[in-house]
């Protein structure tokens, strides 16, 4: 792979608690991931992204880190991680791990020392603030998990900032020593052989040093892209609690550490109003992170032709020098086949669309099987987010249920013990072994779609031009120095007609179900059909 191995790469996300259990405790582990890497390699993926496996009290299931440089015992050991990296590299897979740098667990030694008094060596490592004269929090900032983003600490008689759970205090990256410590963490894992990082909540690293109030957001401008509609977090324009300009200098420092290792980073940009602009800003110039993914394709509203065109138009207005990483599903949102209520034909069409869009791609475990969102009973809930807002919002457990490997084994072959989340009975028929035995299963469609992307440099890394939305029809050209490919997708329930640009074209994607154009320049597409063609003259 080239030095820019990440450009156009297909990255497979693993949620380690739910991938494969090898020690019989009902929780997935690193050895389980190693055992199942051949499945990921068989898809044609270029890299894996492993959600947090670091030492943690697991209040937010690993996104509350208490030791950045060790493996939590429930997942295994550092030796297990080393074996995983070695096996992945044997299979040609890059390894990216999930770094949570905006906050730690309240059990992290850094926070324990910081909260002990106001004069210790790490007193300024977290965001502390005095109360207002009436004892209330220093400003109006809200937590994504509900309520004020400030928690009172009786030791220091101050509030500390937590954008998520109260047990997840925010680090103060305005403090140079904090940045240095986090870069030490980055170097630790790079030296251990990782090929890159997924950076959690990358735009939350800095808060406004003056702690100014966020302005309110009019009801007509609110959306539930980042938080559910029942959460008052949506009532604010988050102008000061994240997205601060100081982040750019830190990202440049982070990027400089990646260069000697030819490693890459993809940042999660969580912002309902300016996500695309921030993504373009963070990935432009070649001196910050290589990729970011915004939430445009993770939102509740189904991805329409108009939304695709609008997204790329907005990006073009900001910069041509950007690199997105698109995802339809992940560990934080309802699985997209359920969220968008997709038929099988629609799911297949969206899969090919993703492989044809400019940018890199993240696939979420089980997506290749077409798994729907699981319906988890309240008594089985584990996610504190869902418990807080039940029943209007059921949290994230429904997309985190265990991977199903065998339709006839207990718990789908995930674990012989009771899993930490139940395995839905309806998932068993879609298990990997069942899909492998069915030539027309979605699993094989994913393999063919990924192979198409790898076979054409224009799709993997080329420019995107002439994107047009006409009703439910989206069409565009992908072009690089060696080839030009025309793509058209009917993302609706009515027939659509597309006219190919002037010239001679060879049809592509017959094995994916693409409509074959022949010598025709006008092609009719039934609902959820698409056509792909490569210019020959």
Residues 80, 186, 200, 208: which is the catalytic one?
A: 200
- Residue 200 designated active-site: yes
**CB–CB of 517/505 below 8 Å?**
yes
- Angstrom distances, CA of residue 107 to CA of 145, 186, 399: 19, 21, 27
Residues paired with 150 in a beta bridge: 161
Distance CA 137, CA 4 (A): 46
CA distance 501 to 518: 14
Output the six-digit token pair for 17: 């608690």
8: nearest Cα among 452, 500, 484, 485: 452
Using CA atoms, how far apart are residues 14 and 40, in angstroms rounded to an integer? 10
Residue 268 annotated as catalytic: yes
Secondary structure letter of residue 291 according to DSSP:
E
Tally of CA atoms within 13 A in the half-sphere of 189 that contains its CB: 30
- Tokens representing 99? 């770094």
Side-chain-side CA neighbours of residue 486 (13 Å): 23
Instruction: State phi, psi for 410 to the nearest 5 degrees.
Output: -60, 135
Exposure string for 314-329, b = 16+ CB within 10 A, e = fewer: ebeebeeebbbbbbbb
Q: Which of 29, 186, 195, 268 is catalytic?
A: 268
Q: What is the DSSP letter of 384?
A: H
Work out the number of other CB atoms within 10 angstroms of the CB of residue 382. Answer: 16
Please, which residues bridge with residue 153 across strands? 158
Q: Name the residues annotated as catalytic.
A: 200, 268
């Amino acid at each position: 792979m080239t030095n820019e191995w990440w450009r156009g790469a297909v990255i497979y996300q693993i949620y380690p608690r739910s991938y494969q259990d090898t020690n019989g405790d009902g929780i997935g582990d690193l050895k389980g991931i190693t055992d199942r890497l051949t499945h990921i390699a068989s898809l044609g993926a270029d890299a894996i992204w492993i959600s947090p496996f670091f030492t943690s009290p697991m209040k937010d299931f690993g996104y509350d880190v208490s030791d950045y440089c060790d493996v939590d015992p429930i997942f295994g050991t550092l030796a297990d991680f080393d074996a995983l990296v070695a096996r992945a590299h044997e299979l040609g897979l890059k390894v990216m791990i999930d770094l949570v740098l905006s906050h730690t667990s309240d059990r992290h030694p850094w926070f324990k020392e910081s909260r002990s008094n106001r004069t210790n060596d790490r007193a300024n490592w977290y965001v502390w603030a005095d109360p207002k004269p009436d004892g209330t929090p220093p400003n109006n900032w809200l937590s994504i998990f509900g309520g004020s983003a400030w928690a009172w600490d009786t030791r220091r008689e101050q509030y500390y900032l937590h954008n998520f759970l109260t047990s997840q205090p925010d680090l103060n990256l305005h403090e140079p020593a904090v940045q240095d410590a986090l870069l030490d963490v980055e170097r630790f894992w790079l030296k251990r052989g990782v090929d890159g990082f997924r950076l959690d909540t990358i735009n939350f690293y800095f808060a406004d040093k003056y702690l100014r109030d966020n302005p309110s957001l009019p009801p007509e401008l609110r959306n539930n892209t980042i938080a559910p509609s029942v959460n008052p977090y949506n009532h604010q324009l988050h102008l000061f609690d994240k997205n601060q300009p100081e982040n750019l200098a830190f990202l440049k420092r982070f990027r400089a550490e990646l260069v000697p290792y030819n490693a890459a980073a993809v940042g999660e940009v969580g912002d309902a109003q300016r996500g695309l602009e921030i993504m373009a800003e963070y990935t432009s110039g070649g001196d910050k992170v290589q990729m970011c993914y915004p939430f445009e394709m993770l939102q509740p509203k189904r991805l329409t032709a108009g939304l695709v065109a609008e997204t790329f138009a907005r990006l073009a207005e900001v910069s041509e020098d950007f690199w997105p990483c698109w995802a339809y599903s992940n560990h934080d949102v309802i699985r997209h086949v359920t969220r968008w209520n997709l038929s099988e034909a629609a799911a297949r069409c969206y899969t090919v669309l993703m492989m044809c869009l400019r940018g890199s791609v993240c696939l979420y475990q089980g997506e290749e099987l077409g798994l729907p969102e699981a319906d988890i009973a309240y008594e089985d809930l584990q996610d504190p987010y869902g418990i807080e807002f039940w029943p209007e919002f059921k949290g994230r457990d429904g997309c985190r249920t265990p991977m199903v490997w065998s339709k006839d084994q207990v718990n789908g072959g995930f674990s012989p013990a009771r899993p930490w989340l139940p395995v839905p009975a309806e998932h068993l028929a879609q298990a990997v072994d069942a899909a492998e035995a069915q030539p027309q299963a979605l699993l094989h469609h994913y393999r063919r779609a990924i192979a198409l992307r790898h076979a054409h440099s224009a799709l993997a890394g080329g420019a995107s031009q002439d994107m047009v939305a006409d009703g439910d029809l989206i069409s565009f050209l992908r072009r690089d120095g060696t080839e030009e490919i025309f793509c058209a997708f009917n993302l609706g329930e009515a027939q659509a007609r597309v006219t190919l640009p002037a010239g001679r074209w060879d049809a592509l994607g017959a094995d994916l179900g693409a409509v074959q154009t022949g010598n025709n320049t006008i092609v009719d597409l039934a609902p959820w059909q698409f056509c792909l063609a490569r210019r020959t003259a």
